[in-house]
Amino acid sequence: MIKINGLHKTYGNNEVLTDINLAFSKGHVYGIVGENGAGKTTLFRCIAGLESYTGSIISDLNPLKNHLGLLLTDPFFFSKMTGKEYIRLLCNARGKTNIHIEEKNIFNLPLDQYASTYSTGMKKKLAITAILLQENAYFIFDEPFNGVDIQSNIILTEIILKLKELNKIVLISSHIFSTLSDTCDEIHLLRKGAQIKSVQKSAFKDLEQEMKAFTIGNSIEKLDLK
């Protein structure tokens, strides 16, 4: 369980998250959606403890961060480190030292090559592999499907469903609604740092329509495309 109560986050005078109250249960997958700048990544960083905030975040496993696999939107890789060494670094950091990395290379990555030479999608797959091998109880995937090929997206969707089956808590943000509707049990909508609404699986279609209407509005007409 993870419970967020009255979370506020400000940068100077700018409040980027306002009174966020959320609860996440074991064996569930949650989607966090919103436009760019809505506060999704900041919320994830607060949960991870990478940002200071006011309010509280409590979890059944403590400290939360030591049980959290965090996939950043744009993971950073050292210039002379191979894929295998990256995985080892992340596993060592969580005390997991006896991992057979080659056997777990489900995305068929060239693990002996420098990770910095990987394509965007390969980098993301490497980062996902590493946090999966950390054997976490909680997962945050910030834009996991971005830049990843269709085949790997299918694998990733299955992985998320498997994590759910394994009673993990999974939080995902994605700009591709279908990836969320395939995996999530509940979706929380953020707008300008505020929690607008929470939607159960049965109402995902309505949410998608509502988001479409809000986002597009009459902006396409304004373009006056010819």
Partner 1 sequence: MLPDFRNGSVAIHKMKHYFHLQFLITNRKIKETGINPILAYLLGLVAFLLITAYLFQKTEFAKYIVVLTCLGLLSKLSESNRTDFLITTFGDRVKNKIRILENGMVSIPFVTVMIYQNALLEAALLWVIAIVFAVFSYKTNVNFTLPTPFSKRPFEFLVGFRKTFYLFPMAYLLTVIAVQVGNFNLGIFSMLLIFGTVLSYYPKPEQAYYVWVHAHTPKKFLLYKIVTATQYTSILVAPVLVGLLVFYPNEFHIVLLFFLIGLLFVWTIILAKYSAYPNEISLPEGMLLAFSVYFPPMLLVMIPFFYKKSIYKLKMLLDDQD
Residues that bind partner 1 (CB under 8 A): 48-50, 52, 63, 65-66, 70, 72, 75-76, 78-82, 84-86, 88-90, 92-95, 112-114, 116-117
Comparison of 83 and 188: residue with beta carbon closer to partner 1? 83
- What φ, ψ does residue 174 adopt, rounded to 5°? -160, 145
Contact at 8 Å (CB) between 42 and 183?
no
Least distance from partner 1 to the Cβ atom of residue 90, Å: 6
Least distance from partner 1 to the Cβ atom of residue 144, Å: 16
What type of residue sits at position 15? E
Least distance from partner 1 to the Cβ atom of residue 109, Å: 14
- Cα–Cα distance, 129 to 109 (Å, whole number): 10
Comparison of 33 and 127: residue with beta carbon closer to partner 1? 127
Comparison of 114 and 177: residue with beta carbon closer to partner 1? 114
Comparison of 85 and 208: residue with beta carbon closer to partner 1? 85
- Cα–Cα distance, 22 to 44 (Å, whole number): 12
Comparison of 67 and 164: residue with beta carbon closer to partner 1? 67
- What φ, ψ does residue 122 adopt, rounded to 5°? -65, -40
- What is the pairing mode between strands 2-11 and 194-200? unpaired
Q: How far apart are the first and last CA of the chain?
A: 53
Rg, Å, the chain Cα set = 18
What type of residue sits at position 87? I
What type of residue sits at position 50? L
Least distance from partner 1 to the Cβ atom of residue 131, Å: 9
Cβ partners under 8 Å of residue 131, min gap 6: 69, 70, 71, 90, 139
Comparison of 33 and 131: residue with beta carbon closer to partner 1? 131
Least distance from partner 1 to the Cβ atom of residue 46, Å: 13
Contact at 8 Å (CB) between 61 and 43?
no
Least distance from partner 1 to the Cβ atom of residue 96, Å: 10
